[in-house]
A and B are shown apart, each in its own frame.
Chain A
Amino acid sequence: MNLLIVGNSAAGTAAIEAIRRHDGQSSIVQISDEPHSLYSRCLLSYYLAGTIPLDALQYRERDFHTTMRVQLHAGKRAVELDPSRQEVRCDDGKVYPFDKLLIATGSSAKLPENLPTGIEGICVLRTIDDVEMIRKKVKHARNAVVLGGGLIGMKAACALRECGLETKVVVRSNRVLSQMIDEEASQILIERLRQNGIDVLKETDVAGIRTRENALVGVRTDQGQDFPCELLIVAKGVHPNIELIQGTDIKKRWGIETNPHMQTSCGNIFAAGDVAETFDIATGEYAINALWTCAVQQGQIAGLNMIGRTTVYDGTVGMNSLDICNTPVISYGITSPKETSQYQMLVRDRRGSNVYKKIILEDHRIKGIILIGRIDNAGVLLSLLRRQADVSAFEDELLDDQFDFGRLVGHGDPSVIAQY
């Protein structure tokens, strides 16, 4: 069988590993628009901060593609897909036929329309090339502004501070990590950031920039403040790279629609990772969860189904983990619902010691979790969310630091006992 994979990151790599675990025969061809060999995007901020060297970005062995017998074509873009002829054409004119195709093209950083392009010092943090550009700039810059308070924005701000730059974060909402946590949790983190020399400007946007010889020298906010700034990192989220399916009948909404086999509406074409829409267990709706862990899981499922090993994906849960100035933060699912009436909130607030925990329940089922400071048994709670287990028998224990696997055994949960 000819397997073709477009994209060379978490989902594509996980698919290759899953395929080769069972199938040494099929030929695997992989196309990637990045000229680099495999690396982990999530590590870029650590490389920027100087905590890890460049070669540590490679999260698999250097000879990964050789040992996995994958023909990798790096540095070329897949531009056209013909589902009926089962072919993908690349920007160099070459055509690749396939029996099964995996679209794992990922996502790209969103750029606000009001920011001019081609200005030195305005960057995103998405690829090795981006981070090398930022590193060059960091050497001579003194002030940085990060636009956006999401996961990437937070990681970028911490990294720039680590590099010794005066760093400000500009967020439009009233909190940081607005997709991940609630306002109370955000207050703890904003205070931690401030203690470490990072200012967060809430309910603010960048309204204009000042340049000298086409290089950034300052920003102006919509609140009328002017800051000197030689480096502006734009972290306003990502959008899926779905260009490849333009002009085909493959169904899409925000991303490429998939079924529980990670199959698109075209049976021999699969999608996984930031480009794919999957069932979200917490919300009960189909959505993109552009996250590393989800991409790996989806890639595995796609890979297995591509070689005929029927495997079902039970769905994604939006989840994030990060460490802000030595404060661990993990969250899952619905964390600050707009409509609160149907939810029940369990909260433990020990802000004095930077500990905050919250669980959002609907009908005795966990829909969302926020953990700040104490994360030890986070995955135990996730297992309850994933299974949508009825937790009414032990609701009052869920926020205890001692709520662990042992307690689930004690409550006689047969699905837990069977895992041991």
Chain B
Amino acid sequence: MKRIFCRVEKCLGCKTCELACAIEHSESKRLVEAMQESVVPTRRIRVELVDDKGALTRHRTLALQCRYCENPVCVQACISGAIRRDEETGEVRINADTCVGCWSCIMVCPFGGLIRHEGIHRVVKCDHCPDRQTPACVEACPTHALVFTERDGTEPGSFLL
């Protein structure tokens, strides 16, 4: 299946992806309206600092989201069955109607891929933007650090190095 990868050497840490993600997951899908919505839209991707060598140009950053694990620990931990993996497509989805906000998935995810949405008291995560062909973060990334691709034989971790 296709997943989103971040090529660390190209990531500027500009957070354009975070903004695009939050807008895509708003009601209106437009920035100005999204900011007025009663439930503040939340991003499902996070720019994380990989290392900080002092000088601005030496910072390395990583835009990270759900990794769509093959045997996801979040699915194991979910007490309500809200998080499920589609065995055929490999997609891991959250049913917002049945999530009770117990945070068990956050307790176990080794990537920090699940995000506590305080406004709706539910967990949210990357859904690969089902309304779009290419996820909003990937499309918005100004340096093409983010790619939406099959792994295509690349070694695990190679995007990070």
Residues of A within 8 A of B (CB): 14, 21, 40, 42-43, 46, 51-52, 56, 58-60, 292-293, 296-297, 300, 319-323, 326, 328, 330, 332, 375-380, 382-383, 402, 404-407, 409-410, 414, 416-420
Contacts and interface: CB of A to CB of B under 8 A. Distances in A.
Given A56-B98, A404-B48, A42 B110 contact: no
Contacts of B102: 42, 321-323
A410 B10 CA distance: 15
Contact of A43 (B80, B109, B116): B80
Contacts, number: 138
Given A46-B100, A292-B79, A420 B156 contact: yes
Category for how many chain B residues contact A: 35 or more
A419 B107 contact: no
Contact of B64 (A21, A330, A405): A405
B56 to A, nearest CB: 16
Contacts of B160: 409, 417, 420
A319 B106 CA distance: 12
B88 interface: no
B51 A410 contact: yes
B111 A380 contact: yes
A409 B87 contact: no
Contacts of A43: 79-80, 100
A378 B123 CA distance: 14
B100 to A, nearest CB: 5
A251 to B, nearest CB: 27
Nearest to A46: B100
B12 interface: no
A87 B71 CA distance: 33
B106 A375 contact: yes
9 contacts: A42-B102, A52-B80, A321-B106, A379-B109, A380-B111, A405-B62, A410-B50, A417-B156, A420-B159
A86 to B, nearest CB: 30
A320 B108 CA distance: 10
Given A402-B49, A410-B60, A293 B81 contact: no
Interface in B39-65: 46, 48-52, 60-62, 64
Nearest to A10: B79
A416 B110 CA distance: 9
Contacts of A409: 8, 50, 62, 160
Contacts of B100: 43, 46, 51-52
Contact of A293 (B46, B49, B51, B108): B108
B77 A380 contact: no
A321 B80 contact: no
B16 interface: no
A23 to B, nearest CB: 14
A14 B71 CA distance: 12
Nearest to A296: B76
B115 interface: yes
B114 to A, nearest CB: 8
Contacts of B111: 379-380, 405, 419
Contacts of B121: 323, 326
B112 A379 contact: yes
B103 interface: yes
A407 B61 CA distance: 9
B104 interface: yes
Contacts of A323: 101-103, 121
Contacts of B8: 409
A319 B107 CA distance: 8
A409 B6 CA distance: 13
Contacts of B32: none
B67 interface: yes
Contact of B76 (A21, A46, A293, A332): A293
Contacts of B130: none
Nearest to B62: A406
